[in-house]
Structure 1
């Protein structure tokens, strides 16, 4: 992604709009950051956050919600954190813990053939996001978010 494209689109305004339009409690955008030849993900834009802990979260490919979506290139849906993730494993999902999310979904954002970002949407109440509502959300988003492409991903 060219820096011109990244900065010419107002991602903060867009995720604020997504949160308002779909009544999510929390929306965030994680972007890949180069770090000593190893790429990491950091939460760059947030809406509906309860604190600033997201600024300190750094995820590697395969770790946390963003890292898993980044690595697999597939959407992730967690309808109920309490039943879908064991309590002893919650430390692997710092954004869920710090923002007290209970139901969430995450989409990979593509540039060409590479995932370079992750869009996370969530609620602080269990079972607010199910397969049908997550699919409706994806369809209504359209094919792009700024310079990123959103690809149709089959749901499990």
Structure 2
């Protein structure tokens, strides 16, 4: 599911980070049923450390889990204003990478969300609704073999 021949996810997220001048871009994949459909961050660009590799999220938990469960993009323009500091433990990628402004989009295969693409900044209010929309449009309708928007045709 997450290894499409001929598509180099690490190279692509490096390009996305550079193109949009993000501080951090990461890609989480849903793990198979025997792993109870958890999500793990598999690729990262601009990361401060390797902690992202140890983050495991269940559906509905953390940014990847929420985007996976709802199938909808998620934007947090200002972490300090939009999330309670008591709730930050529910968002380990924000803490691990010191993100202050970020967005995440679901990656679809057929009618199922199979991954989450997250991009963000370590500065508040850097990603607003219009720049997040431009980012999503910049992905066009596909990322690798996966559709970025539900209903988009591959």
> Structure 1 length as normaliser, TM-score?
0.93
Determine the structure 2 residue equivalent to 1:58: 56
Match for 2:12 among 11, 14, 32?
14
Does residue 93 of the first structure (1) align with residue 91 of the second (2)? Answer: yes
Is the 2:107–2:113 Cα contact (8 Å) retained in structure 1? yes
The 5-angstrom pairing of residues 126-137 of structure 1 reads 126-137=124-135
Is the 2:111–2:150 Cα contact (8 Å) retained in structure 1? no
Paired with 2:150 and 2:135, the residues of 1 have a C-alpha distance of: 11
Higher strand fraction: Structure 1 or Structure 2? 1
Q: Which consecutive residues of structure 2, in runs of 5 or more, have no partner in the other structure?
A: none
The CA RMSD over aligned residues, in Å, is: 1.5
Match for 1:110 among 62, 87, 108?
108
Give structure 1 regions of 4+ aligned residues with deviation exceeding 4 angstroms.
none
Match for 2:77 among 74, 79, 83?
79
Paired with 2:6 and 2:56, the residues of 1 have a C-alpha distance of: 25
Determine the structure 2 residue equivalent to 1:27: 25
Q: Which consecutive residues of structure 1, in runs of 5 or more, have no partner in the other structure?
A: none
Paired with 1:104 and 1:151, the residues of 2 have a C-alpha distance of: 18
SS in 2 for 1:50: coil
CA, structure 1 residues 44+7, in 2 after alignment: closer, same or farther (shift >3 Å)?
Answer: farther
Match for 2:143 among 138, 142, 145?
145
